[in-house]
Amino acid sequence: MISLRLVMGLFEIVLGLLVACVIGFQIWLTRRVFRSAMFERKQKIWQAQLIWLVPIIGATLVFAVLSEEKDQGGRPPSHLKG
């Protein structure tokens, strides 16, 4: 019975660390979106909503778009130009 409590305690610690890492990543990514020169204000708000309302998938999509910005040197990728 004690070993089961130990396992559950470790599980809760690991789960808590995982949730903290996801939240930390989302905070960092949200700040990066709002500092980006690639998007208009309205687009930044939509991306922040995507990050927080669809946590893992939305954050991954936004991160992929922002990594393209880094590769392009701050200019929008050709498929995002108006």
How do the pLDDT tens digits run along the chain, 82 residues long?
567 777 778 888 899 999 999 999 999 999 999 999 888 999 999 999 999 999 889 999 999 988 887 666 655 555 555 4
pLDDT at 77: 54
pTM comes to 0.73
Q: Is residue 74 part of a domain?
A: yes
In one-letter notation, the amino acid at residue 20 is A
Distances (CA, A) of 14 to 4, 9, 10, 72, 76: 15, 9, 6, 37, 38
Q: Is residue 8 part of a domain?
A: no
Domain count, the chain: 1
Distances (CA, A) of 42 to 16, 26, 39, 55, 77: 33, 19, 8, 19, 18
Q: Is residue 76 part of a domain?
A: yes
Contact between 61 and 50 (Cβ < 8 Å): yes
Per-residue model confidence as pLDDT tens digits over 19-38:
999 999 999 999 999 999 88
Q: Is residue 9 part of a domain?
A: no
Q: Is residue 60 part of a domain?
A: yes
**72 is in which domain, residue-wise?**
22-80
